[in-house]
Amino acid sequence: MRFGAYQFKPTLVPTLAMIVMIALTLFLANWQLNRADQKSALQARYDLMQRDPAVTLPVRGGDGTNLLYQKVALHGHFDFSRQIYIDNKLYQGRAGYYVIAPFRDDFSGSYVLVNRGWLGAGNRAIPPHAEQAPGEVRIEGIVTNPISRFLELSTATVQGQVWENLHFKHYTATLPYAVQPILIQQINDTRDGLVRVWDRPDAGAAMNMGYAVQWFAIATAILIIYLVLNVKRISA
């Protein structure tokens, strides 16, 4: 193909490589855009659900998707004997734990897991200990999905009460009672000294958008390089 004094004459292998690389970068760019859209949609649902007053848990919550981000009120007691600590959770740059404990809700008669809040890490040689709220207590919290928020990254995740990550099925299998498939992020103060500042559902959406722009830029650069390398001046 000629353009005046220049000729575009690509070869097969570089052309195939260009097509594969551009297809890959466009796929990754669109994946990042979809992740940003998903997070924005979750934030919109969260904002909508927070306008409603706290409700009681149903006796049977199904798979929990219908309750996602619903504000709920619980009344009952914690099972502190089975409380665990999820390690390596940061708050304002400081390492600590999320404190997870089963809670029996008197309203629904069922057990749920409650993320009580963040506890700062002290001397690692001393096991963590969160203050307990003995007896009956009222809890307000936000329903979240424990399976999507916590991923088990290795097989060696448990050291006594300290877990690397919360593997929902693994943990609930150790309990002598059934647990609804949800995780409650506690938001009210029960005078236990724990920090309850939770990430927004759309946290990281701007970063996803930034990555998408980078992948689109890489795709454009690949195309430009391919054209430059395959357009040659015709010798007189």
- The per-residue pLDDT for 113 is 94
Q: Residues of 208-225 as b/e, b for ≥16 C-beta within 10 angstroms?
A: bbebbeebbebbeebeee
What is the average pLDDT across 18-39? 93
Structure tokens given for 18: 């260009």
Domain count, the chain: 2
Whether 198 maps to a domain, the answer reads: no
pLDDT digits (tens, 9 = 90+) for 40-64: 888 887 777 777 788 888 776 555 6
Torsions phi, psi of 184, nearest 5?
-95, 125
Question: Is 64 a domain residue?
Answer: no
Torsional sign, CA 83, 88, 91, 94: positive
Give per-residue pLDDT as tens, 158-180.
557 888 888 888 888 889 999 99
Are 217 and 161 in a shared domain?
Answer: no
Q: Does any domain span residue 209? A: yes
Two structure tokens written together for 62: 């199904």
Please, which residues bridge with residue 90 across strands?
95
CB–CB of 40/202 below 8 Å?
A: yes
Q: Indicate if 228 and 173 belong to the same structural domain.
A: no
- Does 45 fall in a domain? no
Instruction: For the chain, give the mean pLDDT.
Output: 84
Residues 170 and 226 in one domain: no
C-alpha span between 69 and 48 (Å, rounded)? 9
CB 64 within 8 A of CB 172: no
Among 81, 110, 98, 66, which residue's Cα sits nearest to residue 198?
Answer: 98
**Would 75 be classed as within a structural domain?**
yes
**Per-residue model confidence (pLDDT) at position 151:** 47
Residues 182 and 77 placed together within one structural domain of the fold? yes
pTM above 0.95?
Answer: no
Closest CA to 154 of 146, 145, 163: 163
Share of the chain above pLDDT 70, in %: 88
Between 36-40, 67-71, 151-155, 198-202, the lowest mean confidence (pLDDT) is in 151-155
> How far lies 221's CA from each of 18, 134, 226, in Å?
11, 62, 8
